[in-house]
Amino acid sequence: MRRHSKIRFKGLLTALCLLVFMAGTAGAITYNITAGVTTLTMPDGTEVPVWGYAVEGGVIKVPGDPLVVPAGDNRLVINLTNNLPEETSLHILGQTLSNNTGPVFTEGDLRVRSFSHETAPGGTGTYQWNDFKPGTWMLQSATNPARQVQMGLYAAVKKDAAAAVAGVSAAEAYPGIPYDQELILVFHDIDPFLHAAIAGTAGSEPYTSSAYHQPRFYLINGKSYP
């Protein structure tokens, strides 16, 4: 009986050591992105005001450049600098934001304005996911999404379940699902009158709601075609 207890204790100790080792090898990746204002030119020459993301000091784009979480990393950290005229925030649909101090309510606590903590204009906020799952996901504003996502605050995020090993195996999008080619397509639509109203450009009507927007243009990875 005593011998069996020692064997079980040794097995438990080994398992704990393995867990500690595995936890120590999980990595993290950090991105510094900026939310800002730019314009998109439609096929008929219409200049549409949009809001987008720039990664690591790049230019503001709609959608923002895809973010990649390496297969061996479990943690994603995004430092968001807000160059917009209003508060903004981040969330990733299907992933759990680990340091979320939201939601943020409208004045008087009548309704939720933001699903996660906000970053003020001119400020920088940190958003962190400690258990990032494999797959392809959508990063977007968590503040008034009907307004801010419509304006262009979105970007793809991907993490492979396993990295490719040269001459041995292909990358795996999900466990047991290998691939050797990929193409990420992000679809969006634009109602130029709604964008002008949100941006407050000269001559535009005041913004009220995006519930009844009427798209005139449709985008694939930020490009609209005749």
From residue 122, alpha-carbon distances to 36, 82, 84, 88, 174 in Å are 10, 5, 8, 11, 38
Q: How many contiguous H segments (helices) and E segments (strands) does the chain have?
A: 3, 15
Residue with tokens 């262009």: 152
Q: Distance of CA 124 to CAs 63, 87, 96, Å?
A: 20, 11, 20
pLDDT, residue 9, reads 40
DSSP 195: H
Q: What are the φ/ψ torsions at residue 114 (nearest 5 degrees)?
A: -140, 140
* Closest to 196 measured CA to CA, from 35, 81, 46: 46
So what's the pLDDT on residue 15? 42
- Mean pLDDT in the chain? 87
Q: How deeply is 161 buried, as exposed, middle or buried, from its count of CB atoms within 10 A (0-12, 13-18, 19+)?
A: middle
Whether pLDDT at 46 is above 60: yes
Flag the least confident range among 16-20, 65-69, 98-102.
16-20
What pLDDT is stored for residue 202 in this prediction? 65
HSE-up of 3 (CA within 13 Å, CB side)?
0
In this prediction, residue 16 carries a pLDDT of: 42
| Percentage of the chain modeled with pLDDT above 90 | 73
Q: What is the mean pLDDT of residues 185-204?
A: 89
**Model pLDDT, residue 108:** 74
For the cut 60, the answer to whether the pLDDT of residue 116 exceeds it is yes
pLDDT of 133-156, one tens digit each?
999 999 999 999 999 999 999 999
- Confidence label for 200 from pLDDT (cuts 50, 70 and 90): confident
